[in-house]
C-alpha cells in the first residue's frame, strides 16, 4: 500500500512537471514561501504576488515606467539558488526589480542578514545628502524614503560633512524642483521620455553633482507632465498648487472621478472640509500610479462639484495619513498586523544572533 502511495505521489509530481511545462509557469521560493509565476516575471513582482513583509522595498522601480529600476539598490536580495538546473548561488546580491526569476530559484530577502545589512547601507547612502527637512517638506507622510529609512535605517548618521545644496528650480508653472531632496531615481526622466518625443528633461553632470533638469529652464509642455510629481518617491518634485497648504495627514483623501476626454479621470481628491486641496493619481499599495491623469484634472478642477465622489480612500493603517481615523478600524486585522510585525521583528533578531554573515 505504501509502495502504491509512493508511486502515485511520483506520478503526481511528474504530471505536475508536465503541466508546468505546458503552462510555462516557474516555481520560485522567496523567504521559504513558494509561488508560481509566469516566465519573464522579476523577483520583485513575484514577491509582490506573495505580498506581506517579504516584498523588497523599491525606490526607483516603477512598474508602469519602461526601463526603470536597478538604480537605488534598495531592493537587493540574495539568490541562494539560481535555478533548478543550476542551483549555484549568485555571487553578489542582485537587484530584485530587474532580475528575472528562473524555475526553481530560491531567494532570500528578510531571512538573510547580509541583505538587511546591505539595505541599511543603502538607506545611509540615500540619506547622506538628503537635507532631512521633513518638517517643512510637502511629501512628509507619504514619502517612500521616509518609510524606507524608518523600516531599514539607523537612527543616527555617521556623516559629518556639509550636504550638497542646490537652488530650487521651476519646472513649468506648476512644478517646483527641490534638487537637494532628490535621490536620483530617474523616474521623472522616464515619465518625460515616455510622454514627450524629445529629451526635454534629464540628468546633468555626474556623480553626486548630478542634477535633474530641463533644457535651460524650459518647461515641459505636455498634458501629462504633472505625473512627474506622482512618481517622485521623495519631495523633490512638488505640486505648486498644493505647496504649504496642509500636511497630508490633515487632509481627507477621497476616491473620485470625472469624465475626462484626455485621461481615465480616476483620481484621489485630498480635501479639507469642502475644499479640494490637491488632486493626484490613484496610488496602489506600493505607491505606484497605474493610470496617469492629465494636467487638467490635476490642476484645473479644484471644486467638489466637478467630481463624482466614490467614497473615502483606503489608506494602510501603517501610514501616517491613517491617523485621521476616518475609516472604521478593523480590530481583528489590526491584531493580525501587530502579531505579524512582532513575529517579523523576532525573526530578524533570530537571524542576527544565529546567522552572522562572514
Distance CA 112, CA 194 (A): 37
Is the Cβ–Cβ distance between 289 and 233 less than 8 Å? no
* Window 107-166: residues binding other proteins (CB under 8 A): 118, 121-122, 124-126, 128-129, 158-161
Is 8 or 132 the residue whose CB approaches other proteins more closely?
Answer: 132
Asked if 71 touches other proteins (CB under 8 A), the answer is: yes
Between 205 and 353, CB nearer to other proteins: 205
| Residue 92 lies near other proteins (rule: CB under 8 A) | yes
CA 200 remoteness from chain centre: 25
Residues 200-239 binding other proteins (CB under 8 A) are 202-203, 205-210
Residue placing its CB nearer to other proteins in the complex, 93 or 105: 93
Considering beta carbons, is residue 13 or 210 the nearer one to other proteins?
210
For residues 290 and 267, the answer to whether their CB atoms sit within 8 Å is no
Shortest Cβ distance from residue 197 to other proteins (Å)? 16
Torsion, Cα 143 148 151 153, to 10 degrees, reads -120
303 lines the binding site for other proteins (CB under 8 A): no
Minimum Å gap between C-beta 270 and other proteins is 30
Integer Cα distance of 122 and 56 in angstroms: 13
Using alpha carbons, select from 344, 341, 240 the residue that is nearest to residue 299.
240
Which residue lies nearer to other proteins by CB, 159 or 326?
A: 159
Choose, by CB under 8 A, the member of 56, 57, 95, 226 that binds other proteins.
Answer: 95
Which stretches of 24-90 are DSSP H helices?
43-50
- Residue 48, all three cell numbers: 509582490
Give 107 or 277: the residue with its C-beta nearer to other proteins: 107
**Closer of 71 and 240 to other proteins (Cβ):** 71
Footprint (CB under 8 A) of other proteins, residues 173-202: 183-184, 186, 202
The helix or strand, by DSSP H or E, that contains position 176, with its residue range, turns out to be strand 175-177
Q: Binding to other proteins by residue 9, rule CB under 8 A? A: no
How many residues touch other proteins under the rule CB under 8 A: the total is: 34
Smallest CA-to-CA distance from 63 within 263, 289, 244, 252 is with: 289
Residue numbers of the site for other proteins (CB under 8 A)? 69-74, 76, 92-93, 95, 98, 118, 121-122, 124-126, 128-129, 158-161, 183-184, 186, 202-203, 205-210
Amino acid at each position: 500500500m505504501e509502495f502504491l502511495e509512493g508511486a502515485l505521489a511520483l506520478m503526481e509530481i511528474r504530471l505536475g512537471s508536465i503541466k508546468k511545462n505546458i503552462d510555462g509557469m516557474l516555481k520560485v521560493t522567496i523567504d521559504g514561501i513558494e509561488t508560481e509565476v509566469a516566465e519573464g516575471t522579476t523577483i520583485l513582482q513575484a514577491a509582490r504576488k506573495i505580498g506581506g513583509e517579504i516584498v523588497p522595498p523599491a525606490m526607483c522601480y516603477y512598474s508602469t515606467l519602461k526601463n526603470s529600476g536597478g538604480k537605488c539598490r534598495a531592493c537587493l536580495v540574495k539568490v541562494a539558488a539560481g535555478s533548478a538546473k543550476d542551483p549555484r548561488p549568485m555571487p553578489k546580491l542582485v537587484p530584485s526589480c530587474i532580475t528575472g526569476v528562473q524555475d526553481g530559484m530560491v531567494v532570500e530577502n528578510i531571512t538573510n542578514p547580509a541583505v538587511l545589512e546591505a539595505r541599511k547601507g543603502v538607506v545611509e547612502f540615500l540619506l547622506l545628502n538628503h537635507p532631512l527637512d521633513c518638517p517643512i517638506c510637502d511629501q512628509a507622510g507619504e514619502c517612500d524614503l521616509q518609510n524606507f529609512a524608518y523600516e531599514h535605517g539607523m537612527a543616527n548618521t555617521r556623516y559629518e560633512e556639509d550636504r550638497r545644496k542646490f537652488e530650487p528650480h521651476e519646472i513649468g508653472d506648476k512644478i517646483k524642483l527641490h534638487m537637494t531632496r532628490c535621490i536620483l531615481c530617474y523616474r521623472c526622466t522616464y515619465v518625460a521620455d515616455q510622454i514627450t518625443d524629445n529629451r526635454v528633461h534629464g540628468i546633468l553632470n555626474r556623480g553626486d553633482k548630478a542634477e535633474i533638469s530641463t533644457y535651460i529652464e524650459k518647461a515641459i509642455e505636455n498634458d501629462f507632465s504633472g505625473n512627474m510629481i506622482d512618481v517622485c518617491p521623495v519631495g523633490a518634485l512638488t505640486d505648486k498648487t498644493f505647496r504649504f497648504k496642509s500636511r497630508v495627514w490633515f487632509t481627507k483623501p477621497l476616491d473620485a472621478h470625472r469624465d475626462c476626454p484626455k485621461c481615465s479621470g480616476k483620481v484621489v481628491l485630498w480635501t479639507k472640509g469642502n475644499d479640494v486641496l490637491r488632486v493626484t493619481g490613484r496610488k496602489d499599495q506600493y505607491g505606484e500610479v497605474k493610470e496617469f491623469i492629465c494636467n487638467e484634472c490635476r490642476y484645473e478642477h479644484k471644486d467638489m462639484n466637478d467630481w463624482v465622489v466614490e467614497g473615502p480612500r483606503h489608506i494602510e493603517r501603517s501610514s501616517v495619513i491613517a491617523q485621521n481615523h476616518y475609516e472604521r478600524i478593523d480590530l481583528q486585522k489590526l491584531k493580525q498586523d501587530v502579531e505579524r510585525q512582532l513575529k517579523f521583528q523576532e525573526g530578524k533578531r533570530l537571524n542576527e544572533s544565529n546567522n552572522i554573515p562572514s
